[in-house]
Amino acid sequence: MTAPTPPPQGPAQGGPQGPHHFTPPPAGPVSQSSARKNLVIAGVLSGGGCLLVIVVVIALIIVLAVRGGGSGGGGGETGAADLPPEEQATALVADYFDALAAGDAETALELNPVNEDMGAAPLPVEAYTAALEAAPITGVEVGAPVIDDGGLAEGEVPVTFTVGDQTVSDTYRVHDYDDDGVMELTGGHTMAQVPDGLDGLGLTVNGAEVTAGEPIALMPGGYEVALGAEHFALSSTDPLLVGELATSLEWPEATLTEEGQTAFRGAVDEAVQACLEQTTLEAGCAMSPVPTTSDDGWTMVEDTVERTISEDTQRTIDTMEATPSSDEPTYVEGTSVGAVETTIECTKDGQKGRCEMWLGGGMGIPHVDMADPELPVTWS
């Protein structure tokens, strides 16, 4: 489907069509050899003049052919200003969907460019080409446009099409925003906000790197989302399908791979064992410090603390599931480790004994920075 091309304009009529006529002065006598020479020169000039005319005609044909078939960025065919706005709008949207149906993302972007004032970043053309391959555009039907030409001409063009296995009915807006007589597509892309929950994970969309928290411009098609960070995967591998302009995408969430969960548990267990080995009144892993004296007057002896965990607590560590945080997904969070059995050497009035700490000493919730190769553990 293409816009009708106006018939080429002929030469302007009226005015003198040839050179002015005058009577030349009488020629002097010419020798026979000079006559032959002049005849040859005249012949050459005559042939050169014909060649020049042919070259000029070819050049004009080429120029007219280019003017009749070239497309402008977002403005349809050159010469579209000679068409009524309704015809321009229909041809522009039809040409755009012809390009989509042909898998020609480059031409589609020329007809419907991603402008800077849209507030969204374009993807490389290869990413759009992959989208049209993943979810082809078929069954396109362009309806009758509705044009408001009360001021700057603008309007809407209804379109029905199928993307992948989904049938879409939508409306594309056209606007002669610069008042040059040529309609252009405006806002003809889906603006998708890349979620912050995928930040720092090497996120790609159809192989193109994108930045979490920033909007991107998408044309109809299918988009595969992938992660490049070690230990991480997505909750779904299904491609994002873009159809309607106002499509609200359901982005997959980041999860730890099984290898990532194993690495997390290993880091937590190592940190727990290091905390259990501490004999001081204060220890790590978010455990409450042992008080220096008890309520009944016993004094705790520094560097005599023994801490142990039960088999159930160890099993909790060995099976703990980590969850990426919503605002910093590489910083994953586990669950509470549980109770710690704590005993301390203590004295009172010259007596020595072994005191046990009640209602305290339990470990907190571990957090591991999976982006750090050392897998450091912090506690809350």
* pLDDT tens track for 294-313: 999 999 999 999 999 999 99
Check whether 60 has a pLDDT greater than 90: no
Q: Give the tokens for residue 163.
A: 């993307």
Which residues does 297 contact at the CB level (< 8 Å), separation at least 6? 348, 349
Mean pLDDT of 323-343: 93
Q: How far apart are CA 190 and CA 119, in angstroms?
A: 11
What is the pTM (predicted TM-score) of this model? 0.72
What are 293's strand-pairing partners? 299
Mean pLDDT of 39-65: 35
pLDDT band for position 358 (cuts 50, 70, 90): confident
State the residue for tokens 């993307």: 163
> For 226-272, how does the pLDDT look when each residue is reduced to its tens digit (9 = 90+)?
999 999 999 999 999 999 999 999 999 999 999 999 999 999 999 99
Residues in the chain: 380
> For 112-148, how does the pLDDT look when each residue is reduced to its tens digit (9 = 90+)?
999 877 789 999 999 999 999 999 999 999 999 999 8
pLDDT at 115: 83
pLDDT at 49: 41
Whether the Cβ atoms of residue 379 and residue 366 lie closer than 8 Å to each other: yes
- Provide the percentage of residues in the chain whose pLDDT is more than 90: 69
Mean pLDDT of 192-213: 94
Whether the Cβ atoms of residue 350 and residue 220 lie closer than 8 Å to each other: no
User: How many angstroms separate the most distant Cα atoms in the chain?
Assistant: 152
Burial grade of 95 (CB within 10 A; 0-12, 13-18, 19 or more): buried
> For 27-37, how does the pLDDT look when each residue is reduced to its tens digit (9 = 90+)?
333 333 333 33
Helices 258-276, 311-318: inter-axial angle, 10-degree rounding = 140
pLDDT at 3: 40
DSSP 156-180: EEEEEEEETTEEEEEEEEEE-TT-S
Average pLDDT, the chain: 82
pLDDT at 80: 63
Question: Helix (H, G, I), strand (E, B), or coil: what is residue 23?
Answer: coil
Q: Give the tokens for residue 150.
A: 């009360």
pLDDT band for position 50 (cuts 50, 70, 90): very low
pLDDT at 187: 84
Check whether 102 has a pLDDT greater than 70: yes
Mean pLDDT of 89-111: 97
Q: Name the least confident of 41-45, 84-88, 108-112, 201-205.
A: 41-45
Q: Name the least confident of 214-223, 228-237, 325-334, 352-361.
A: 352-361
Give just the sign of the alpha carbon dihedral 150, 88, 74, 211.
Answer: positive
